[in-house]
Amino acid sequence: MSGHSKWATIKHKKGALDAKRGKTFTRLIKEITIASRQGGGDPDANPRLRTAIAAAKAENMPADNIKRAIQRGTGELPGATYEEISFEGYGPGGVAVIVEATTDNRNRAVSEIRHTFSKNGGNLGEPNSVRFMFSKKGIIAIPKEQADEEKLMNIVLEAGGDDLNDEGDTWEIITEPSAYEAVAQAVRDAKIETTMSEITMVASTYTKLEGATANQMIRLLEALEDNDDVQNVYSNFDMDATQMEEVAG
């Protein structure tokens, strides 16, 4: 497991996301609102909304919060009008980075993201400068003590997943986005706890970073993720697991 997925798994382990629950809820509410605006408020007929609601429930978001976010998206309740913006660029060591933002102020978002890149050893690139290196996949990371390989492989095969990878102390299920919801539900039905479960962007190749360059890359990721407009950050960096644990601590 490299880059974004490894980093996200470690942050889950250490409870870093729990400390930012407010940020997590804000990100999910924006996603629900936009999904409702674009595809309607019925999750049965709106796959993006269905996925967003499942993610919100996984974070124990109250049902009333989800309902209000849907109603703001469909126009039943007043609320901010969000715009989706995607940025592509390079981090320390030439690592490819994609940033997905949802904002009510485009100029502010562009200025802040550009500043964050330059302040942390990176720079923004042109559209499609790095996106070709990534493909959208569902990833479900499971601690090995939660389930054995045979049990998980049966879930992958029966629910339509693509692959099951051994990532040291973690199993990693890979799915196509269209199969993600069914596989994630099968894992939940089996009462198996996960450290990460989401649709993300997976790189085709990875760039290994070490020492100060690796630390600078982590600082860039953290700075981007701390921005209130940023929804998701994807990269193709890899680094030694021990160093990543130390940085995450």
167 and 118 housed in the same domain: no
43 and 70 housed in the same domain: yes
Q: Is residue 230 part of a domain?
A: yes
Tell me the residue range of the domain where 60 lies.
Answer: 8-74
pLDDT score recorded for residue 152: 92
Q: Is residue 220 part of a domain?
A: yes
Q: If you compute the radius of gyration of the chain from its CA atoms, what whole number of angstroms results?
A: 18
**Strand 134-143 and strand 196-203: pairing?**
antiparallel
116 and 140 housed in the same domain: no
Q: Is residue 3 part of a domain?
A: no
Q: Provide the residue-wise pLDDT of the chain in tens; the chain has 249 residues.
A: 455 666 666 665 555 555 566 678 888 999 999 999 999 999 999 988 998 998 888 778 999 999 999 999 999 998 778 899 999 999 999 999 999 999 999 999 999 999 999 999 999 999 999 999 999 999 998 999 999 999 999 999 999 999 998 888 889 999 998 899 899 889 999 999 888 888 888 898 899 998 899 989 989 998 998 898 999 899 999 888 777 777 666
CA angle (211 as vertex; 200, 8 as ends), nearest 5: 20
Q: Is residue 160 part of a domain?
A: yes
18 and 104 housed in the same domain: no
55 and 161 housed in the same domain: no
Residues constituting the chain:
249
Q: Is residue 2 part of a domain?
A: no
- The CATH number for 23's domain is 1.10.10.200
- The CATH number for 214's domain is 3.30.70.980
Select from 218, 239, 220 the least CA-distant residue to 230: 220
Both tokens of 201, joined, read 């962007």
The CA distance from 138 to 159, in Å, is: 13
214 and 122 housed in the same domain: yes
77 secondary structure, DSSP code: S
Q: What are phi and psi of 163, to 5 degrees?
A: -160, 160
The CA distance from 119 to 57, in Å, is: 35
Cβ atoms of 93 and 204 within 8 Å: the answer is: no
Query: What's CA 207's distance to the chain center, in Å?
Result: 19
Report field, pTM of the whole predicted structure over 0.85: no
pLDDT score recorded for residue 1: 45
Cβ atoms of 96 and 130 within 8 Å: the answer is: yes
215 and 107 housed in the same domain: yes
139 and 122 housed in the same domain: no
| Number of domains present in the structure of the chain | 3
